[in-house]
């Protein structure tokens, strides 16, 4: 039995995520976790909400709530949606947890002990009306280049010129609109990533099995321009992990917090500590996943994320881990994704364009979405959600291929033999050919799942469903029954057993439908078919079953058109 540690990039707290976010990390991570558990491996699957930073503060202010309350409520919302999509986390934590506070401060202390933290004095804009320093993007003014009057302190959106806040004409706070601003001296901590550059470069170079998308992004950041830059890891904010050097105060850093990008990946580790606390486990129970000196030597650690998160996971977080000098587990494989676009444009959280997780579950059960999203995962290039494609995929793959097979054979059996597996007849050449084809395809399916080639795995699973339909079409037990009912019984017996096989193989993609099939076939469970031939012998003559309800309803043209117009507009 192998031990697999799986983390999904942690979604930011300030609102409900769209389907593009979902397929970029959490959903494929869940597919892999479910598959590895089904293969009998020990899995620890972790995710969390990413709760610190200015956007959380602003979202809370907009909602009229204290930021801690806002985050607690939004964590519950995101957690319920994760359950709705059947994301099978062992723990869905919070980056604001006491465990993450402690670990973040611990790592900062270790990095400082090892000479990898530098204190830097900076000049930054302070707003008297807001009572705080303003991040560059929260200062607005007139662009000195083009005259656009809503240019941000980091960049002018109109002419794309990179700016410093002090370049702006008539600068004001984007939060309060106040012009009572002042440039003040402030001190920040920098992680000396440049000192770890060669070490990181060698480590990335050793990852020859990683997707090119992952390594090319890392190499670009390592070598483009002046190479890997040191990174500020503190901010002048209230909401976050207070800056401490381990458990000790950090002189000169009072009132400051760690930058959200420093503490967020550390939450992967903290989430397992939260898991231990929530489940009555010990520190040793979570450390055996993370400390190579405490049992994590044989753990394979796989991360899932969108391409925008790759630099932080290939460079910044490994710099934290390596720089600590402690034997923490480093990632073994990073599966990164391109973007999913929406119907001729992009998903947009700010414009409410596209389908968001709550809306998706309001109109259809999660399996419909899981199947489409995973079978169209943006692995090698960006992919696009269109309602036509979604309708076709659901109606063909799920309703016509899988659903129809199940409905046809169970109803035929009920009408001719009753609701139990019929006896009589023997398997011949046709059955031998089917079983051989299944063995080949199941092996290929497993290879794709092991390699996290999600589209290929989905195509193989669909091909396995198609084999059942082709077999029924070819054997035609409804015609056979009139002349040779025994032969028809043998076909029905094999086809009913195929439903059990499909329940097991399909579970990582469509867990609810799989559970329905397992229940209808009265199987109790659906263990992975390590031996296809044996799996097809599981239901013996006399085994009772029930005809399941319609597994997947087809999407009608009116519904498709209705949804298409409903989601093109603006969300409240």
Of 41 and 145, nearer to Zn ion (C-beta) is: 145
Maximum CA pair distance of the chain?
94
Q: How far is the CB of 146 from Zn ion (least distance, A)?
A: 3
Q: How far is the CB of 161 from Zn ion (least distance, A)?
A: 5
Q: Which of 91, 45, 33, 72 is nearest to 279 (CA)?
A: 91
Of 159 and 443, nearer to Zn ion (C-beta) is: 159
Q: How far is the CB of 158 from Zn ion (least distance, A)?
A: 5
Of 137 and 560, nearer to Zn ion (C-beta) is: 137
Question: What residues are paired with 341 via a beta bridge?
Answer: 346, 384
Locate tokens 């309602």: which residue? 387
Specify the long-range contacts of residues 342-346, CB closer than 8 Å, at least 24 apart: 342/18, 342/19, 342/20, 342/384, 342/385, 343/384, 343/385, 343/386, 343/387, 343/564, 343/567, 343/568, 344/384, 344/386, 346/20
> Binder to Zn ion among 158, 194, 292, 348 (CB under 5 A)?
158
The reply on whether position 212 binds Zn ion by CB under 5 A is no
Of 138 and 368, nearer to Zn ion (C-beta) is: 138
Q: How far is the CB of 54 from Zn ion (least distance, A)?
A: 23
Q: Tell which positions 466-505 bind Zn ion, by CB under 5 A.
A: none
Q: How far is the CB of 215 from Zn ion (least distance, A)?
A: 35
Could you tell me if 105 and 40 are in contact, meaning their C-beta atoms sit under 8 angstroms apart? no
In SS3 terms, 352-421 reads as CECCEHHHHHHHCCHHHHHHHHHHCCCCCCCEEECHHHHHHHHHHHHHHHHHHHHHHHHHHHHHHHCCEC
> Binder to Zn ion among 156, 175, 253, 270 (CB under 5 A)?
156
Of 148 and 528, nearer to Zn ion (C-beta) is: 148
Q: CA 366, 453, 358 angle in degrees (round to 5)?
A: 20
Give CA–CA dist 377/401, Å, rounded: 20
Q: How far is the CB of 151 from Zn ion (least distance, A)?
A: 5
Of 68 and 146, nearer to Zn ion (C-beta) is: 146
Phi and psi, residue 130, nearest 5°: -85, -15
Of 65 and 145, nearer to Zn ion (C-beta) is: 145
> Binder to Zn ion among 159, 183, 432, 436 (CB under 5 A)?
159
Burial of 65 per CB tally in 10 Å (0-12, 13-18, 19+): middle
Give CA–CA dist 96/155, Å, rounded: 30
Q: Which of 23, 486, 66, 16 is nearest to 238 (CA)?
A: 66
| Contact window for Zn ion (CB under 5 A) among 4-12, 63-71, 153-161, 357-365 | 153-161
Q: How far is the CB of 305 from Zn ion (least distance, A)?
A: 32
Of 143 and 270, nearer to Zn ion (C-beta) is: 143
Q: How many CA atoms lie within 13 A of 314 on its CB side?
A: 32
- # chain residues binding Zn ion, by CB under 5 A: 7
Q: Tell which positions 123-152 bind Zn ion, by CB under 5 A.
A: 143, 145-146, 148
Of 148 and 427, nearer to Zn ion (C-beta) is: 148
Of 136 and 326, nearer to Zn ion (C-beta) is: 136
Q: How far is the CB of 167 from Zn ion (least distance, A)?
A: 10
Q: CA 157, 160, 164 angle in degrees (round to 5)?
A: 85
Could you tell me if 375 and 393 are in contact, meaning their C-beta atoms sit under 8 angstroms apart? yes
Q: How far is the CB of 69 from Zn ion (least distance, A)?
A: 38
Q: How far is the CB of 163 from Zn ion (least distance, A)?
A: 8
| Contact window for Zn ion (CB under 5 A) among 35-43, 80-88, 157-165, 332-340 | 157-165
The reply on whether position 155 binds Zn ion by CB under 5 A is no
Give CA–CA dist 563/73, Å, rounded: 28
Q: Which of 546, 513, 529, 494 is nearest to 402 (CA)?
A: 513
The reply on whether position 355 binds Zn ion by CB under 5 A is no
Residues in contact with Zn ion, shown as a per-residue x/- string from 88 to 127 under the rule CB under 5 A: ----------------------------------------
The reply on whether position 163 binds Zn ion by CB under 5 A is no
Binding site for Zn ion (CB under 5 A): 143, 145-146, 148, 156, 158-159
């Amino acid at each position: 039995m192998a031990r697999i540690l799986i983390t999904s990039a942690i979604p930011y707290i300030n609102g409900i995520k769209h389907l593009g976010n979902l397929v970029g990390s959490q959903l494929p991570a869940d597919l892999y976790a479910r598959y590895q558990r089904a293969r009998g491996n020990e899995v620890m699957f972790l995710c969390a909400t990413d709760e610190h930073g200015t956007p959380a503060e602003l979202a809370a202010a907009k909602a009229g709530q204290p930021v801690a309350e806002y985050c607690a409520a939004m964590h519950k919302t995101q957690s319920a949606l994760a359950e709705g999509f059947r994301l099978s986390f062992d723990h869905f934590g919070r980056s604001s947890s006491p465990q993450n506070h402690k670990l973040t401060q611990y790592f900062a202390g270790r990095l400082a002990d090892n000479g990898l933290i530098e204190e830097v004095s900076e000049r930054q804009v302070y707003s008297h009306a807001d009572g705080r320093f303003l991040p560059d993007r929260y200062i607005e003014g007139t662009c000195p280049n083009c005259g656009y009057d809503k240019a941000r302190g980091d960049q002018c959106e109109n002419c794309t010129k990179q700016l410093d806040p002090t370049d702006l004409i008539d600068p004001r706070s984007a939060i309060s609109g106040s012009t009572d601003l002042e440039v003040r001296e402030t001190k920040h901590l920098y992680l000396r990533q440049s000192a770890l550059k060669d070490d990181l470069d060698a480590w990335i170079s050793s990852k020859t099995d990683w997707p090119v998308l992952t390594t090319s992004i890392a190499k670009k950041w390592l070598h483009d321009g002046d190479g890997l830059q040191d990174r500020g890891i503190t901010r002048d904010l209230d909401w976050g992990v207070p800056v401490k050097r381990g458990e000790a105060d950090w002189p000169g850093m009072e009132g400051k917090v760690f930058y959200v990008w420093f503490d967020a990946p550390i939450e992967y580790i903290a989430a397992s500590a939260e898991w231990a606390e929530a489940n009555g486990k010990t520190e040793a129970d979570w450390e055996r996943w993370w400390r190579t000196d405490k049992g994590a030597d044989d753990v394979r650690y796989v991360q899932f994320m969108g391409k925008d998160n790759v630099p932080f996971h290939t460079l910044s977080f490994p710099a934290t881990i390596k720089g600590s000098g402690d034997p923490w587990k480093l990632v073994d494989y990073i599966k990164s994704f391109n973007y999913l676009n929406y119907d001729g444009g992009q998903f947009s959280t700010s414009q409410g364009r596209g389908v968001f997780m709550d809306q998706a579950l309001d109109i259809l059960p999660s399996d419909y979405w899981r199947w489409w999203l995973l079978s169209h995962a943006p692995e090698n290039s960006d992919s696009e959600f269109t309602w036509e494609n979604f309708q076709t995929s659901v109606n063909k793959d799920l309703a016509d291929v899988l659903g129809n097979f199940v409905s046809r054979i169970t109803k035929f059996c009920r009408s001719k033999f009753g609701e139990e597996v019929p006896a009589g007849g023997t398997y011949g050449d046709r059955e031998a050919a089917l079983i051989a084809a299944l063995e080949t395809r199941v092996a290929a399916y497993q290879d794709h799942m092991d390699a996290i080639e999600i589209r290929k795995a989905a195509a193989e699973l669909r091909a396995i469903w198609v084999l059942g339909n082709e077999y029924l079409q070819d054997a035609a037990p409804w015609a056979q029954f009139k002349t040779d009912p025994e032969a028809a019984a043998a076909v029905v017996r094999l086809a009913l057993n195929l439903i059990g096989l499909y329940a097991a193989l399909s579970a990582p993609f469509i867990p609810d439908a799989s559970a329905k099939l397992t229940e209808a076939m009265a199987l109790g469970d659906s263990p992975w078919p390590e031996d296809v031939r044996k799996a097809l012998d599981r239901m013996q003559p006399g085994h009772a079953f029930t005809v399941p309800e319609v597994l997947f309803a087809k999407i009608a043209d009116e519904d498709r058109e209705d949804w298409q117009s409903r989601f093109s507009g603006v969300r409240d």
